[in-house]
Structure 1
Amino acid sequence: MSFSLISSLRYDPALPAAVSQLAINTYPDPVDTPYYLLAYHRDRLITAAQHFQWEKALAWLQQDLRTLNQFLDASIPDTHKPWRLRIAVNHNGNGTVDVHPTAPIDPSNLLVPSVNATPDSAVWRVYVDTQATTPSGLTTHKTTSRDAYNAARLRAEIKSPADTAEVLVVNPEGEIMEGSITTPYFRRRDTGVSGPSWVTPPLDSGGNAGTTRRYALFQGFCVEQTISAAELANGEECWLSNGVRGFIRGVIVLDR
């Protein structure tokens, strides 16, 4: 196979204390690990291996969380600093970890915004892609085959992973699928219905089943709702999230 299954996550030594102080009863187990949403990352990779019928990869991924934690520990250069990790598993069941420095953040930004009401993160510019992306197994599951996402970022003139900008990927029906590196959350359109104030695109629209997306849904921060790109308004506030940066405020930019 020409691609590997991947999942990107944050190692942050400050995370366990933040969970203990702010979300001990709501953060998913294990609560004492510095690896952000560790169990969700393993589950995501297992689901991808099942989809692609990679039996050897599935056998490697079905190790217990303690073993996975120890496997990741071996790759951490300095346990006192935060790191961005990318777990990759090929069809032969060979797992590797790439580790890169990442900027420190307030660890409460890793918790759902209902817990963290006043995040200190910068507001990201959020563009809408000008071309459609066809959903497939390579959009539903995160892999190293990311040409569609890279092309969307180029069209939005996002030139670096360090840019505080994101582009929303759109399917041929004009529905928002996801962000190129994040899950988006929008203000609820059917305001007369009780429940969370935020919505995120359903997987039926073609996007990825992200780990922070699962966390936000589980915590009741949002519900699923189909979002048409045509519904978005210039200057509209939104949220973004991923497994390295946590939850980030955004603003829709339609007119450049």
Structure 2
Amino acid sequence: MEPFHIFTTLRYDAKLEALHNDPNFAHAGWNYRRASSCYMLDFHRDRMLRAATYWDWTAALGVLSGDAALARLETAVLQAVTAAGRSGEYARVRILVGQDGQIEVEASGETEKQMEDLFPRGLAAPVEAAGGGMAGAPSPTFTVFLDGDETEKSEFTHYKTTRRAMYNGARERAGIKLGEPKEVLLAADDGGVMEGSVTTPYFWRQESGYAVEEAVPSSSLVDGELIWLSNGAKGFLLGKLQGKV
């Protein structure tokens, strides 16, 4: 097997530090408990730690375990942001960890976001988000497509790694260029929606909770359907399905 890295992408945003102990953002987890400019850093660390555990990468487990790992990652993020000339602003940060435990961090430009976009108290129902029932509700900012090809599930779709041929292929079929406000949903080989190429999708299915994990058949998607999307760099976004590619 050719070498690969596990990785995660998160947001650096100086405004996040003000959420520490702010009662309006008591639901903000890591960023409520700690004055940190790293968006949900503990979540990102935990996800990489689970991947390192799966592949039994001993050296990587050593650098990703415990509170010392969080401090190490936070320092590496801040150093990369400073080197990129974005300290005190906001940035997209990519953290890569190799089997040998080496950490690489890259920082690049990102768009400004309101804190409510990063930590919403709820996701508006489609009729509300479309403006049919809530004044000032958000409008879709992303165009979403369903991939016409099926993607086989594997450890490389379950864990986030630099082996991304399946995601890159879906983006190519959808004609998505870097930086465009577009997303493509991967269709799994079992008939369900797997995930977005760079986001997690949320479908309105009359659930009573904030978000409930369940299988969503690709056949249940309807053109024009509004879909919430999220990722670690942009927070939550509203998209509109525009068919299959």
TM-score (structure 1 length as normaliser): 0.82
Tell me which amino acid in the other structure corresponds to 1:35: C
Amino acid across the alignment from 1:165: K
Alpha-carbon deviation of 1:113? 5.0
Distance 1:227 1:124 in 2: 20
**SS state at 1:139 partner:** helix
Out of 227, 231, 235, the position equivalent to 1:246 is 235
- In terms of Rg, which structure is larger? 2
> Kindly tell me: are residues 88 and 231 of structure 1, through their superposed partners in 2, closer, same or farther at Cα, counting changes over 3 Å?
same
Task: Please state how far the C-alpha of 1:21 moved relative to its aligned partner.
Answer: 4.5
1:31-87 CA-partner distances (Å, limit 9, x unpaired): 321100000010001000001111111111115222322232222223211011100
- Residue 65 of structure 2, aligned match among 62, 65, 83: 62
Query: Following TM superposition, by how much is the alpha carbon of 1:125 offset from its aligned partner in structure 2, in angstroms?
Result: 0.7
- SS of corresponding position for 2:93: strand
Alignment of 1:222-233 (within 5 A): 222-233=211-222
Determine whether 1:163 maps to 2:180: yes
Q: Secondary structure at the match of 1:74?
A: helix
AA in 1 matched with 2:120 = V
Residue deviations 1:81-126 (CA, integer Å, cap 9, x gap): 1011100001011011011111212222101351898676852111
Q: Which position in structure 2 is the counterpart of 1:73?
A: 78
Q: Unaligned 5+ residue runs, structure 1?
A: 197-220
CA distance in 1, matches of 2:236, 2:21: 18
Amino acid of the residue matched to residue 180 of structure 2? D
Cα shift at 1:17: 2.3
Name the CA shift for 1:34/1:121 in 2 (closer, same or farther; >3 Å): farther
Q: Matched residue of 1:253: which SS?
A: strand
Partner of 1:82: 90
Matched, 1:52 2:55: yes
Unaligned runs of 5+ in 2: 130-135
Which residue, out of 104, 115, 118, partners 1:96?
Answer: 104
8 Å Cα contact 1:23/1:115 also seen in 2: no
Corresponding residue of 1:134: 152
Alpha-carbon distance in 1 for matches of 2:139, 2:233: 13
Q: Residue 133 of structure 2 corresponds to which residue in structure 1?
A: none
Structure 1 residues 122 and 12: alpha-carbon distance in aligned structure 2, compared to 1, 3 A threshold:
farther
Structure 2: distance between partners of 1:157 and 1:146:
16
- Please state which structure has a larger fraction of its residues in helix: 2
Aligned residues: 227
Percentage identity across paired residues of the two chains = 33
The 1:121–1:92 alpha-carbon spacing in structure 2 relative to 1, beyond 3 Å, is farther
**Residues 91 and 108, structure 2, Cα contact 8 Å, conserved in 1:** yes
Is the 2:140–2:226 Cα contact (8 Å) retained in structure 1?
A: no
**Match of 1:6?**
7
Q: Which amino acid aligns with 2:165?
A: D
Partner of residue 200, structure 1: none
CA distance, structure 1, for counterparts of residue 140 and residue 239 of structure 2 = 8
Checking the alignment, whether the CA contact within 8 Å between 1:113 and 1:247 is kept in structure 2 is no
Q: CA RMSD in A?
A: 2.2
Give 1:12-51 correspondences, 5 Å limit. Answer: 12-18=13-19, 20-21=21-22, 23-31=24-32, 32-51=35-54
Alpha-carbon distance, 1:22 to partner = 6.3
AA in 2 matched with 1:251? K
SS of alignment partner, residue 52 of structure 2: helix
Give TM-score, length-normalised by structure 2: 0.86
1:150 correspondence with 2:168 = yes
